[in-house]
Amino acid sequence: MKVAIIKYNSGNIQSVKFALNRIGIEPILTDSLEEIQSADKVIFPGVGEASGAMKYLNEKGLNKIIPNLKQPLLGICLGMQLMCKYSEEGNTNCLNIFTQKVFRFSPFSLGRAGPGSKIPQIGWNNIFNLKTKLFEGIAENEYQYFVHSYYVELGDCAIATTNYITEYSSALQKDNFYGVQFHPEKSAKAGEQILKNFIEL
């Protein structure tokens, strides 16, 4: 099986590669349009800033390729946010695979965490309202590891929810496109199971 990790001006790509190595997958890291299109599975990870990342994707032509892929694709953290319609981070138009928008956490939002919650969210939080085979074998309210200042609003594509200051989409799915806000590569056995589930889709 050929698994491609999209390489762009983003952090955290090597840790995803090492996580896949732990489950017996040797992926390729590439920004080649041909290699990405010919892969069996594609992973679109990222830690960084939305406008700079989109600028790189646009310059490489990846903005035209990614939304038209037919094989399963998994966006992680910034990767998932870039798959949305728009991000407040840098006032950025994104790939518009998902119709949801990306907003910055506000410590004054009326959520369970309440005023004064730290931004970014860094650490373990639970995921619930789990849907699709991506979460097969994952219990409701399982914990995953998060690092982010921006979140994806709830909507029809949400397949997992998390509460931090406000409830938001911690995973999305539309057709062959999947996204997770958390870092499965840093989330111990539960995260490893999610990566296995994606590879087996």
Residue 156 pLDDT exceeds 70: yes
Quick check: 198 and 42 in contact, CB under 8 A? no
**Catalytic site residue from 77, 84, 94, 157:** 77
Is omega for the bond preceding 107 within 30 degrees of 0, making it cis?
A: no
How far, in Å, CA of 157 to CA of 196, rounded? 21
pTM value? 0.95
185 is catalytic: yes
Q: What are the structural domain ranges in the chain?
A: 3-199
Between 11 and 83, name the one with better pLDDT: 83
Query: What would the pLDDT profile of 43-79 be if each residue is shown by its tens digit?
Result: 999 899 999 999 999 999 999 999 999 999 999 999 9
Percent of the chain with pLDDT over 70: 96
Query: What would the pLDDT profile of 160-195 be if each residue is shown by its tens digit?
Result: 999 999 999 999 999 999 999 999 999 999 999 999
183 is catalytic: yes
Quick check: 155 and 183 in contact, CB under 8 A? no
CATH architecture entry for 3-199: 3-Layer(aba) Sandwich (3.40)
**Catalytic site residue from 89, 148, 157, 183:** 183
Residue 119 pLDDT exceeds 80: yes
89 is catalytic: no
Q: What is the mean pLDDT of residues 144-159?
A: 97
Quick check: 150 and 81 in contact, CB under 8 A? yes
pLDDT for 144 equals 98
Confidence of residue 11 (pLDDT cuts 50, 70, 90): confident
Q: What is the mean pLDDT of residues 83-93?
A: 97
Q: Give the list of residues 6+ apart from residue 73 with CB closer than 8 angstroms, or none.
A: 41, 42, 43, 44, 66, 176, 177, 178
Confidence of residue 114 (pLDDT cuts 50, 70, 90): low
pLDDT for 108 equals 62
